[in-house]
């Protein structure tokens, strides 16, 4: 017979009540950080942007002749590679392209909230100079000027002369950079023209884009959904065809998730291959102390060849001359272009931590079929202990109890998207095991793991985490080697684009991307399909609160873009991009959001 010990029940209720009391006190305390000064500063910055925007619109409409609609319709959906071919064929001028994309970016920026600072006037002046110098420029070899005349958008983290690198932090407004960061400098030297900067999440640690100054960025495919993050402004602007190439950063999926959510291509290089000099850091003094899980700069675009153009532009002698910390590994074009060697590729449609939605599963299976038709051997690969990967990733990045993260706000109120992580990080150490036990008993084992992971650590415990991370990576690599696997195909995320604010819970679906940050693998995303009518559903074996939120995301998701992820061993960036290119050519995803087609720059 089952007996209830009411004393135990009362004690449990008392503990739970205490936890909620602590939560309330901490929430109130957190609210005290937010001062009127930050609101005023954010308002002033936004007002200055909007005032300049009106001036820019007048310049674009009145100071220069707007190219014809026929030319606009010819240009707006071209890749960077196709634009370069058009320049050579004299199909259009550099200023035509910059002018049209400036008007599109301005219009799309208003509709999606994707952009921060705009430099269309400077960009069109530069393009006019290129038009005048075109005869001279055409004598330069492709290898010298890989991106001549191509407009590029830049994440609001990468230093650009005269622009803030705010990273969604209000305190970073009105602190313009005095020079271009090295990554941007390298692209400009290849002829690229930076013309607009894109929005990001406050301090950039969740897959969404929202901050006090510029507000929330919406997904161009569905305004009720997020564009992802933290390079979400890039994803939204590129998805709506407001930019040709974008530069973002990735520490857990911040390039790949926006690419997946917005139907574009994105690539995270091997950490240590591309410089991070001149990249803003959302920490005090622009320096981060945690270096075991490293952010990397990478491109987003409309084709794999476009991503390769950026990689080749980065991998120049000047980068290694200025950043001695890097491995000097030039671009290996023969590996990227090789089609004779057939590879053995592993794939998985779901992991044991977060079940992928039906559309994400189908996308992987479509990619598997395509690769088999191309002659590759594709075998199932079962990722092991993904819950361990999530725990390690979260524990390492939050090992200081997110204290340095909070200090970087410089007193600004924490964005509400971080509420759950903040509260979990503030649970007293002595209560944490008990709360995890209670969560597990009531069927919330995944929430229990997150709560267990985000608390502050002692030095010994942190070093143990790093040791465990290295062992985990060794086991993963050994498993791939034992199965003779060259690359892995997987979902880019467990879900299509979330509805706004759900990233505070559904960041758990990012296990598919963060694993490759933990492993230091290069990884990229290729758009392959959209959600079908019969795929607007979700279920898993957990049946917990995350399951319910995931099901709500899949409802009414028909038409949302879905990508697949390709990942490979460290330093095998060219091989990853090769398979991305083969998938692109075989599947030929061509769909655009309605917004991209409906943009009218002539009224």
What's the pLDDT tens digit per position in 112-135?
Answer: 999 999 999 999 999 999 999 986
Which helix (H) or strand (E) segment holds residue 525: the answer is strand 523-530
List 45, 95, 126, 155, catalytic entry: 155
Contact indicator for 337, 504 with CB cutoff of 8 Å: no
Q: Which residues are annotated as a binding site for substrate?
A: 204, 230, 251-254
Q: Indicate if 165 belongs to the active site.
A: no
Q: Which residues pair with 299 in a beta bridge?
A: 247
Q: Which residue has the tokens 């153009």?
A: 309
Q: Indicate if 155 belongs to the active site.
A: yes
Per-residue pLDDT for 28 more than 90?
no
pLDDT of residue 119: 98
How high is the mean pLDDT of the chain? 94
pLDDT band at 17 (very low <50, low <70, confident <90, very high): low
pLDDT of residue 134: 85
Which helix (H) or strand (E) segment holds residue 120: the answer is helix 120-132
Query: What tokens does 237 get?
Result: 């602007």
Q: What mean pLDDT do residues 164-184 have?
A: 98
List 166, 230, 231, 243, catalytic entry: 230
pLDDT band at 14 (very low <50, low <70, confident <90, very high): low
Per-residue pLDDT for 4 more than 60?
no
pLDDT band at 6 (very low <50, low <70, confident <90, very high): very low
Q: Which residues are annotated as a binding site?
A: 204, 230, 251-254
Rounded Cα gap, residues 29 and 517, in angstroms: 33
pTM, entire model: 0.94
List 95, 231, 254, 511, catalytic entry: 254
Q: Indicate if 382 belongs to the active site.
A: no
Structural domains of the chain in order of their starting residue, each with its CATH number: 21-331+343-597 (3.90.1300.10)
Give percent above pLDDT 90 in the chain: 91
pLDDT of residue 448: 97
pLDDT of residue 21: 55
Give percent above pLDDT 70 in the chain: 93
Per-residue pLDDT for 144 more than 90?
no
For residue 541, give the DSSP letter. S
Burial category of 446 from C-beta neighbours within 10 Å (exposed 0-12, middle 13-18, buried 19 and up): buried
Determine phi and psi for 34, rounding to 5 degrees. Answer: -80, 120
């Amino acid at each position: 017979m089952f007996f209830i010990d009411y004393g135990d029940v009362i004690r449990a209720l008392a503990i739970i009540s205490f936890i909620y009391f602590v939560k309330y006190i901490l929430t109130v305390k957190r609210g005290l950080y937010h001062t009127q000064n930050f609101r005023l500063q954010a308002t002033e910055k936004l007002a200055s942007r909007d005032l300049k925007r009106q001036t820019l619109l007048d310049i674009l409409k009145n100071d220069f002749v707007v190219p014809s609609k026929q030319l606009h319709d010819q240009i707006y959906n071209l890749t960077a590679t196709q634009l370069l071919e058009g320049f050579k064929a004299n199909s259009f001028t550099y200023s035509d392209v910059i002018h049209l994309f400036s008007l599109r970016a301005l219009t799309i920026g208003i509709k999606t909230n994707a952009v921060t600072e705009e430099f269309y006037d400077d960009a069109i002046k530069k393009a006019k100079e290129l038009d005048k110098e075109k005869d001279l420029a055409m004598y330069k070899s492709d290898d010298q000027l890989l991106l001549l005349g191509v407009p590029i958008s830049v994440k609001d983290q990468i230093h650009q002369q005269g622009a803030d690198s705010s990273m969604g932090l209000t305190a970073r407004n009105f602190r313009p950079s005095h020079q271009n960061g090295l990554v941007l400098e390298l692209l400009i030297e290849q002829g690229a023209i930076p013309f607009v900067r894109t929005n990001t999440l406050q301090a950039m640690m969740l897959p969404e884009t929202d901050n006090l100054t510029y507000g929330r960025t919406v997904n161009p495919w569905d305004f009720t959904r997020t564009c992802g993050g933290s390079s979400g402004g890039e994803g939204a602007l590129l998805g709506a065809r407001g930019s040709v190439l974008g530069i973002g950063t990735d520490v857990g999926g911040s390039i790949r998730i926006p690419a997946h959510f917005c139907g574009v291509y994105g690539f995270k290089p091997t950490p240590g291959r591309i410089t991070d000099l001149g990249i803003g850091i959302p920490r005090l003094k622009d320096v981060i102390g945690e270096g075991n899980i490293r952010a990397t700069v990478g491109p987003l675009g409309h084709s794999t060849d476009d991503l390769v153009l950026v990689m080749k532009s980065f991998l120049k002698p000047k980068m290694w001359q200025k950043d001695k910390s890097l491995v000097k590994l030039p671009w290996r074009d023969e590996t990227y272009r090789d089609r004779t060697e057939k590879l053995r590729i592993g794939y998985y449609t779901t992991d044991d931590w977060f079940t992928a939605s039906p559309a994400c599963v189908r996308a992987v299976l479509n990619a598997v079929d395509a690769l088999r038709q191309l002659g590759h051997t594709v075998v199932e690969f079962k990722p092991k202990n993904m819950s361990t990967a999530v725990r390690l990733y979260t524990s390492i990045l939050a090992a200081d109890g997110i204290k340095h993260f909070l200090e970087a706000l410089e007193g600004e109120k924490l964005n509400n998207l971080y509420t759950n992580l903040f509260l979990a990080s503030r649970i007293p150490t002595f209560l944490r095991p008990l709360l995890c036990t209670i969560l597990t008993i009531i069927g919330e084992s995944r929430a229990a793991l997150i709560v267990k992971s985000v608390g502050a650590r002692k030095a010994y415990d942190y070093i143990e985490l790093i040791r465990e991370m290295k062992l985990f990576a060794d086991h993963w690599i050994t498993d791939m080697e034992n199965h003779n696997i060259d690359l892995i195909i997987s979902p880019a995320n467990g879900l299509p684009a979330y509805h706004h604010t759900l990233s505070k819970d559904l960041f758990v679906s990012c296990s598919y991307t963060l694993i490759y940050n933990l492993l230091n693998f290069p990884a990229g995303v290729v758009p392959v399909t959209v959600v079908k009518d019969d795929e607007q559903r979700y279920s898993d074996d957990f049946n917990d609160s995350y399951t319910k939120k995931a099901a709500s995301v899949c409802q009414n998701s028909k038409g949302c873009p879905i990508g697949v992820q390709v990942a490979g061993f460290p330093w095998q960036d060219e091989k990853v991009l090769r398979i991305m290119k083969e998938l692109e050519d075989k599947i030929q995803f061509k769909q655009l959001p309605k917004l991209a087609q409906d943009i009218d720059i002539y009224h």
